[in-house]
Amino acid sequence: MGGGYWRREDFAMYSRTMGRTVRADGHIDTSRMHGAQDMYRAWKLDPLLDPFMVTRECCDSPEHPATVPVILALDVTGSMGGALLKTAASLNVIMQDTLNEYKDVEFMVMGIGDLAYDRAPVQISQFESDIRVAEHLDRIWFERGGGGNRFESYTAAWYMGLHHTKLDCWKRGKKGVIITLGDEPLNPYLPGRRLAQITGDHLFGDVRTGGLYRRVREKFDVFHVAVDDPGDSFHHYEEAIRRSFGPLLGERLLVSTLDMLPRTILGCLRECGVGAAGTRAVKALPITERPGIPGW
């Protein structure tokens, strides 16, 4: 997947069909919107985003000979409405700024909830580089779920990237990029029974975050953006967010206001040297498409 190019005029035309107005600065006008539900109108899991038994591909092509897969995973629980609205409103700017520097970047958008509580805790699109990114983002169900366990299932993005993608960049010794956005602490594990149910994988226990990170970092540069917004949970959980994400991600745990999100996302790509000759190479590890590893 992933052919084509992002064009401002395509985004403007698509936005008009969705009843939206694109401002002169490239952002969608949200002044008359009451919240994220005005942008994210889905009311159930879209079949095109269903994670069950899927493999998403990011393939090199004559148009994009050196693809860079970027997984942008959004927390779709209740407190994240402001960040979701800002991400959708800023998508044109994010895409334009990114592709101006890195023409072969292809985006996958994911919706992440809570595996213990939500009906659709993982939503996963194809990798694309044109207006289909916007179309996939519009398909995400803002479930507004979550639970009382003080974290969401952020590492499901790591798991899906490692086990449910096929990336040509790995053949060239290059990593992909995973950027998760949320406002709660890092989850210590993914419940194996529920994960197996929604993905079709065979799992012999819960997926522990430490072991998963040791594997995923060999294939992806991993970032987490803690969203600092007056309407979210960041300030309530700030210390716990830093304490949980910090030991693993270090300086790749970032804090961003809503207005800074486009610049923060582009900064992640710059930091890991996307598209540059100095991009860190991946280690030659076997890829397990359908894992069955106890104690993970």
Tell me: the pLDDT tens digits for 105-142? 999 999 999 999 999 999 999 999 999 999 999 999 99
pLDDT mean over 202-212: 96
pLDDT of residue 234: 64
Number of domains in the chain: 1
Does a structural domain hold residue 283? no
Q: What confidence tier does 146 reach under pLDDT thresholds 50, 70, 90?
A: confident
What local confidence, expressed as pLDDT, does residue 215 receive? 97
| Parent domain of 28 | 8-271
Domain-located, residue 279: no
**What pLDDT was estimated at residue 236?**
74
How many CB atoms sit inside 10 A of residue 267's CB? 15
Domain at 97, CATH number = 3.40.50.410
Q: What is the C-alpha to C-alpha distance for residues 202 and 157, in angstroms, rounded to an integer?
A: 18
Is 289 among the domain residues? no
Pick from 68-72, 91-95, 147-151, 231-235: least confident: 231-235
The reported pLDDT for the residue numbered 285 is 33
The whole-model pTM stands at 0.90
Q: How much is the average pLDDT of 58-73?
A: 95
Q: Report if residue 225 sits inside a domain.
A: yes
Residue 287 has pLDDT above 70, yes or no: no
Size (the chain), residues? 296
